[in-house]
Structure 1
Amino acid sequence: MKKTNVEILYEWLDNTAGIIQQHVNEPYLDSLIYTMEILFEKHVPEDLEEILSQKLRSNLTEVDITSYKTEEIRKGIQLAVLKGMKDSTQQQHLMTPETVALLVGYLAEKLTADKEEVRLFDPASGTGNLITTVMEHLKQKNLIAFAGEVDPTLIQLAVLNANLQQKSIEFFHQDSLRPFLLDPVDLIIADLPVGYYPDDVQADTYELKAENGNSYAHHLFIEQAMNYTKPGGYLIFVVPDFIFNSDQSDKLHAYLQEYAHITGVIRLPESAFKSEKNIKSILVLQKKGQNTRSPKQPLLAQMPSFKNTTGMSDILKQMNDWFVTYQKEMKGNE
């Protein structure tokens, strides 16, 4: 069988990262960063040992990145990153599953369909896979994108990922729960980091801080995202399934009732996750504004297994119908 472009690119990235690893004894993800830099610059740095330099120059002649579609580049990189993450023990080195990212992209496209310009922000961007997937779905010519990430390895991967896909994203390398130099945006997307936030002093500046002990990072991220959303703007979060019945959920409920409309909750299929405690949902919010109100009926859906094509097409038809009604409702509010 003929190999797809995604497979060819993945194998090239994997092979080149492997060559670098043999010579410099770096972790796979760091070698992958180096590989992506060489691919983007189309140039091998001068300061490498001769044998490595020759091998890399030879490899570089075997690939023409300009002949690939954006989606092929994204998926090829995604496969190489996933391989690197299998070897990495760090919990934050996890990637949003492909089907979940595509679903977030679908929702983002529907919610911004009537806008000529969209300002987009992902405050927990990881390797940039989610934000670049969403950007691929948005039809606006005027799309301005921002992303925040604290982990130095992940942000390097994200910047190169965006560059190779020729997507313009302004990155902030910082703790995303500290203030950003950023004007409010129309749309925020995030696969929320789950767990406790270690900086109690910074957490203390949030309404959703814990009364005692450490605060939940995933709660603080929701509040932080709300701070950077325009009134009437939308937020799409991939959230842990237990978010609405954990020990601090009363506070979260009260906060959301005050500042947001719950536009939708989509429960992802259990088959997409390793164990029950890892199951996630997609939470869609609209920040309250002068002319906003809650939908008469929020979008509530239980996704079937992503392998169940009939079930998937049924649920997408229901979601499309829901959006038609919702958009008419929202126009009536203006």
Structure 2
Amino acid sequence: MDQSNVELLYEPIDKLTESLQQSTNQTYLDSLITTMEAVFNASLPEELDESIKQNLPAIPDASAYEIEDIRKAVQMATLKGMKGATQEQHLMTPEAIALFVGYLASKVTEGREHIRLFDPASGTGNLLTTVTEQLEKLEAVFASEVDPTLIRLAALNANLQQKEIEFFHQDSLGPFLLDPVDLVVSDLPVGYYPDDIQADDFELKADEGHSYSHHLFIEQSIKYTKAGGYLIFVIPEFLFDSDQSDKLHAYLQEQVHIVGVLQLPETVFKSEKNHKSIMILQKKGPDTTAVKQPLLAQVPSFKNTRAMSDILSQINSWFSENMTK
């Protein structure tokens, strides 16, 4: 069977990364950073010991591949590096979900001439770069990530895909030097936020104890969105069932219109506690009105092409009937 272009590029990336890992005693992900730098610059880093360089396989040539092939090959290598070494909430957004978020992003921004896009929890950048592939009229793209390894992977990922993205390497719940954007997309980090002093600046801080980081990320994202702008979050299914959900619900009622909630197929997630949905919001403004009937849907298995075709047809009809440009 013929190999796909993704596999043809992934194999030499993986081979070089494994060789670097063995030679330098680094993790696979750190070695992947060196590989991606080598692919981008078409040469190994100067600081690498000459004795190591002599025994390494050839640097893959990415210039012969399409942007989408590069993204997927890097994604495969990143997933391999994350396997067993990454906490559940730090895992990469599954490909099918990232594509679906991109589709929804294209629907809510349809007709807009200039789009400023932001992901405040960008991780390796896979969700963000997948979404950018489906958006026209992109004026600027921004991303924030606190983890030094993930943000280096994300920046190199963007470089290899020839995408211009401005990265903030900081705590994403701190202040940004960023003008409000038209669209936020994010796979929300789930858990407790350890910095109670920083959390004190948020309306959605906990009354006592640590605040939920996923609540604070929602508030932070709304803060940096223009009036009338949209936010698309991948959310934990239990978002509105927690002990602090009343406060979250009241805050959302005040700040945004809930455009829709789509329950993702269980088959995408390893366990029941990790099930997620997609929530679409619009920040309230002088020219905005609530939709008469929010988009509520159960997304079928992404592998069921007939059912997916049906649900996409229904979603397209809903947007035609309910979204005024």
Given that 2:260 and 2:294 are in contact with CA atoms closer than 8 Å, whether structure 1 keeps it comes out as: yes
Match of 1:250 in 2: 246
Given that 1:19 and 1:52 are in contact with CA atoms closer than 8 Å, whether structure 2 keeps it comes out as: no
1:103 aligns with 2:100: yes
Which segments of 5 or more consecutive residues in structure 1 lack a partner in the other structure?
none
Match of 2:131 in 1: 134
Match of 1:312 in 2: 308
Match of 1:164 in 2: 160
Find the aligned partners of 1:150 and 1:306 in 2 and give their Cα distance: 31
The change in CA–CA distance for 1:120 and 1:89 in structure 2 (over 3 A counts) is closer
SS at 2:54's partner residue?
Answer: helix
Match of 1:83 in 2: 80
Find the aligned partners of 1:150 and 1:92 in 2 and give their Cα distance: 14
Match of 1:114 in 2: 111
Q: Which residue type is aligned with residue 5 of structure 2? A: N
Match of 1:59 in 2: 58
1:237-276 pair list within 5 angstroms: 237-276=233-272
Find the aligned partners of 2:294 and 2:143 in 1 and give their Cα distance: 28
1:188 aligns with 2:170: no
Find the aligned partners of 2:48 and 2:215 in 1 and give their Cα distance: 46
Q: TM-score, normalised by structure 2?
A: 0.98
Percent of pairs identical after alignment?
A: 65
Pick from 279, 300, 319: which aligns with 1:323? 319
Shift in Å, 1:91? 4.1
Pick from 267, 283, 290: which aligns with 1:287? 283
Which segments of 5 or more consecutive residues in structure 2 lack a partner in the other structure?
none
Q: Which residue type is aligned with residue 27 of structure 2? A: P
Q: Which residue type is aligned with residue 58 of structure 2? A: N
Match of 1:68 in 2: 65
Q: Which residue type is aligned with residue 77 of structure 1? A: V
Find the aligned partners of 2:87 and 2:149 in 1 and give their Cα distance: 11
Pick from 91, 112, 121: which aligns with 1:94? 91
Find the aligned partners of 2:46 and 2:73 in 1 and give their Cα distance: 27
Given that 2:182 and 2:225 are in contact with CA atoms closer than 8 Å, whether structure 1 keeps it comes out as: yes
Moved over 3 A (4+): 89-93
Match of 2:203 in 1: 207
Find the aligned partners of 1:300 and 1:89 in 2 and give their Cα distance: 32
Shift in Å, 1:47? 3.4
Match of 1:31 in 2: 31
Q: Deviations over 1:170-206 (max 9, x none)?
A: 0000000000000000000000000000001111110
Match of 1:4 in 2: 4
Q: Which residue type is aligned with residue 37 of structure 2? A: E
RMSD across aligned positions (CA): 1.1
Find the aligned partners of 1:138 and 1:86 in 2 and give their Cα distance: 30
Q: Deviations over 1:109-148 (max 9, x none)?
A: 11111111100000000000000000000021x4310000
Given that 1:21 and 1:28 are in contact with CA atoms closer than 8 Å, whether structure 2 keeps it comes out as: yes
Match of 1:300 in 2: 296
Q: Deviations over 1:1-57 (max 9, x none)?
A: 11111001111111000110111000000000000000001112333333421344x
Given that 2:190 and 2:213 are in contact with CA atoms closer than 8 Å, whether structure 1 keeps it comes out as: yes
Q: Deviations over 1:40-84 (max 9, x none)?
A: 01112333333421344x512xx3211111111110000000000
For this pair of structures, how many residues does the alignment match?
Answer: 325
SS at 1:251's partner residue?
Answer: helix
Given that 1:188 and 1:225 are in contact with CA atoms closer than 8 Å, whether structure 2 keeps it comes out as: yes
